[in-house]
Structure 1
Amino acid sequence: MNKQVSKEHSLLIAACLFLLSINASFAKQIAITFDDAPLVGNKNMSGLQKTHQIIAHLTDNQVDDALFFVTTGNINSNTDRQRLAAYANAGFHLAHHSHSHLSANKNSVVKYLEDFDKANSILESFKGVLKYHRFPFLHYGETAKKRTAIHAHLAKHNYKIGYVTVDNYDWYINSKFLAAQKAGLNINYDNLGQLYVETLWAGIQFYDDLAKEHLKRSPKHVLLLHENELAALYLGKMIEHIRSQGWEIISPQEAFDDPISSAYKPAQFHFNKQGRVAAILDSQGVEKRKLRHPSENTEFIDKLFSIYQVTKNTD
């Protein structure tokens, strides 16, 4: 091989490596997590039915793992325990979301950690539990002193923070759906599913674009959902849409191995309620108003219900 060919060969390799590095920086990967399990059911869908449907969506779409953050105060019957066991038996995992769903911003450190310890004790009887704690309301504590004390307690018990990178108002969409059911309104389920998928997808794109603009890469994302009726109805469509956009569904454990996992500094991160990407960017001086997607607003969702023509009065 002459020197000219060798030089061209080296340049080609360098170009390929550069393209690979760009591709790795914008990897389009996301993990699926659920808060507040086991959420109570209703006359239209029992809690057990909801669990079975969520598991079916995940298994039918070959999602290898998902993480269910358990609010242990929601465990009120053997059926509730069976629901959590069903997730673990299907190959998925459970994690810690408190006992009473307390806000760390609105309660003392002592009260918050007593509640944390109670949930930790209850979770010891379940299999498939990973030591991640997700703060209710994504409230980490309103002062550096509180955040530092809580973080130290988590570390003492070998817990890591089960942060999110993609926040949304799926809980409010679900509450409007349940209210429409209760009121006896005629619900267009196709339109509701379209609203759900497109709104959540817009949130994923928003936080990924923020990361690419300011962090210069796409982290391994963590999607926040709730273990609710809309997940039971439309999770499969959400998964299909994510993949249709060239994204990969990864395990939460893999997502939590991303470098942003170790970026959290209790004394410096004041703005945590929009997720880890927003928290990092706030600490870098990005304006808070730029770190929240428009759909994270009740009035915005109300307008979407009208635009998508989700409901109408029955005659």
Structure 2
Amino acid sequence: MRPFASLLASLLILALPALAAAAAKDPGKDKTAPDRRIAMTIDDLPWVRLPAVSTASIIADHRRLVAAIRQAGVPAIGFVNEGKLEADGKVEPERLAMLRDWLDAGATLGNHSYSHADLHAVGLPAYRDDILRGERQLRPLLQSRGQTPHWFRHPYLRAGRSAQDKIDLAQFLSAHGYRIAPVTVDNSDWIWAAAYLRADASPKAEKLKSKLRRDYIHYMGLKLDYYEQQSIALLGYNLPHIWLIHANALNAASYGDLIAMARKRGYRFIGLDEAMRDRAYERTDAYTGPAGPSWLHRWAIGEKKPASFFADEPEVPAWVMSLAQLESE
């Protein structure tokens, strides 16, 4: 037996290079899977419904969302509307403390303008003023942590009605130390959030809200799948994505499930800085229309892709639209 075992071992050693070469030629499932990385971004801090509602009415959900962010332990950045910090023209200490909660949870903060201004409605001069007004609390708050604000997110994702407006805005932002934070995984979480709030009036509120959370996670998964395929179709690979959600009660209740769903699909969470190092983000945003689409679709519009390229994007189900009392996305 010993001579045979020795011969077998020798043959295996000789065969190893050939086996390795064969494995290299057959990459298999793991090696052919797209690179799946994603950055989490959360808009309308400190809370979507402020300042129209009292701080007391939303503070429990705020704490729930911040706790979920801390527990998830993945990079996240929240974009602040400083107007939401105020009541009767004065900053409420409790609302400013909400931003500190985000920083304490390990998140970073960016500028989303003071009033959530619509660039297309107010024009570039007023928009620039609103951006600077949106850092009066943000800048010193970050400086107290050894940080500076360097990301800006357009409200409504409306980025300019002309190429020149886009150039002028980019130059202004750069002069003030900002970069634009695009979005690739766009969605209508705000409609689901509206339905979630209205569900409280139902006689079977908890059952309805449970169904909303479950179906919302499924919808968001379909969105991830869709934009992954859009990226591959347009760029030839799956770029590091940038995901947009909002600071609302639905995401406070669903944040951990969103993270788990993305991870189940093979996604690894990264910071916005890492995502933006991908060369795809150097592409020109050619879109000058009234909506606020994904940057993948802006680039596709710039390449004059046919209408068929944009087909089959997942939609909010009709029953959710009805519950939210909205007619269209």
1:196 and 2:216 correspond = yes
Please give the residue correspondences for 1:82-93 in structure 2 after superposition, counting only pairs within 5 Å: 82-93=97-108
Aligned amino acid, residue 50 of structure 1: D
1:72 and 2:82 correspond = yes
SS in 2 for 1:207: helix
Q: Which moved more, 1:232-241 or 1:247-256?
A: 247-256
Q: Provide the C-alpha distance between the structure 1 equivalents of 2:44 and 2:311, rounded to a whole number of angstroms.
A: 22
Which of the numbers 117, 121, 146 marks the counterpart of 1:106? Answer: 121
Which structure 2 residue ranges, 5 or more long, are not aligned? 1-13, 87-91, 325-329
Q: Residue deviations 1:80-117, cap 9 Å, x none? A: 11110111122110001011111112221111111111
Is the 8 Å Cα contact of residues 214 and 281 (structure 1) preserved in structure 2? yes
Q: Provide the C-alpha distance between the structure 2 equivalents of 1:14 and 1:302, rounded to a whole number of angstroms.
A: 48
Aligned to 1:186: 204
Is the 8 Å Cα contact of residues 192 and 212 (structure 2) preserved in structure 1? no
Alignment TM-score, normalising by the size of structure 1: 0.83
Q: Provide the C-alpha distance between the structure 1 equivalents of 2:95 and 2:55, rounded to a whole number of angstroms.
A: 17
Which of the numbers 53, 75, 83 marks the counterpart of 2:64? Answer: 53
Q: Provide the C-alpha distance between the structure 1 equivalents of 2:306 and 2:42, rounded to a whole number of angstroms.
A: 28
Q: Provide the C-alpha distance between the structure 1 equivalents of 2:160 and 2:203, rounded to a whole number of angstroms.
A: 40
1:208 and 2:228 correspond = yes
- The 1:259–1:185 alpha-carbon spacing in structure 2 relative to 1, beyond 3 Å, is farther
Percent of aligned pairs with the same amino acid: 22
Please give the residue correspondences for 1:216-231 in structure 2 after superposition, counting only pairs within 5 Å: 216-231=236-251
- The 1:46–1:16 alpha-carbon spacing in structure 2 relative to 1, beyond 3 Å, is farther
Q: Residue deviations 1:212-266, cap 9 Å, x none? A: 1221100111110000000111111111111112221222222222222222x25
Matched pairs, number: 296
Query: Once the 2 structures are TM-superposed, how far is the Cα of residue 287 of structure 1 from its aligned partner?
Result: 3.4
Q: Provide the C-alpha distance between the structure 1 equivalents of 2:172 and 2:300, rounded to a whole number of angstroms.
A: 26
Please give the residue correspondences for 1:1-315 in structure 2 after superposition, counting only pairs within 5 Å: 11=21, 15=25, 22-23=32-33, 26-39=34-47, 40=49, 46-63=57-74, 65-76=75-86, 77-127=92-142, 128-181=147-200, 183-187=201-205, 188-263=208-283, 265=284, 268-270=286-288, 273-287=292-306, 290-291=309-310, 294-296=313-315, 300-304=316-320
- The 1:97–1:10 alpha-carbon spacing in structure 2 relative to 1, beyond 3 Å, is same
- The 1:123–1:16 alpha-carbon spacing in structure 2 relative to 1, beyond 3 Å, is farther
- The 1:295–1:15 alpha-carbon spacing in structure 2 relative to 1, beyond 3 Å, is closer
Q: Provide the C-alpha distance between the structure 1 equivalents of 2:82 and 2:204, rounded to a whole number of angstroms.
A: 35
Query: Over the residues paired in the alignment, what is the CA RMSD in angstroms?
Result: 3.0
SS in 2 for 1:111: helix
Query: Once the 2 structures are TM-superposed, how far is the Cα of residue 20 of structure 1 from its aligned partner?
Result: 8.7
- The 1:125–1:48 alpha-carbon spacing in structure 2 relative to 1, beyond 3 Å, is farther
Q: Provide the C-alpha distance between the structure 1 equivalents of 2:245 and 2:136, rounded to a whole number of angstroms.
A: 25
- The 1:176–1:53 alpha-carbon spacing in structure 2 relative to 1, beyond 3 Å, is same
Is the 8 Å Cα contact of residues 48 and 79 (structure 1) preserved in structure 2? no
Is the 8 Å Cα contact of residues 197 and 241 (structure 1) preserved in structure 2? yes
Q: Provide the C-alpha distance between the structure 2 equivalents of 1:283 and 1:191, rounded to a whole number of angstroms.
A: 39
Structure possessing the higher radius of gyration over alpha carbons: 2
Query: Once the 2 structures are TM-superposed, how far is the Cα of residue 68 of structure 1 from its aligned partner?
Result: 0.2
Q: Residue deviations 1:287-310, cap 9 Å, x none? A: 3574376445xxx4433478xx99
Which structure 1 residue ranges, 5 or more long, are not aligned? 311-315
Is the 8 Å Cα contact of residues 164 and 223 (structure 1) preserved in structure 2? yes
Is the 8 Å Cα contact of residues 169 and 295 (structure 1) preserved in structure 2? no
Is the 8 Å Cα contact of residues 70 and 106 (structure 2) preserved in structure 1? no
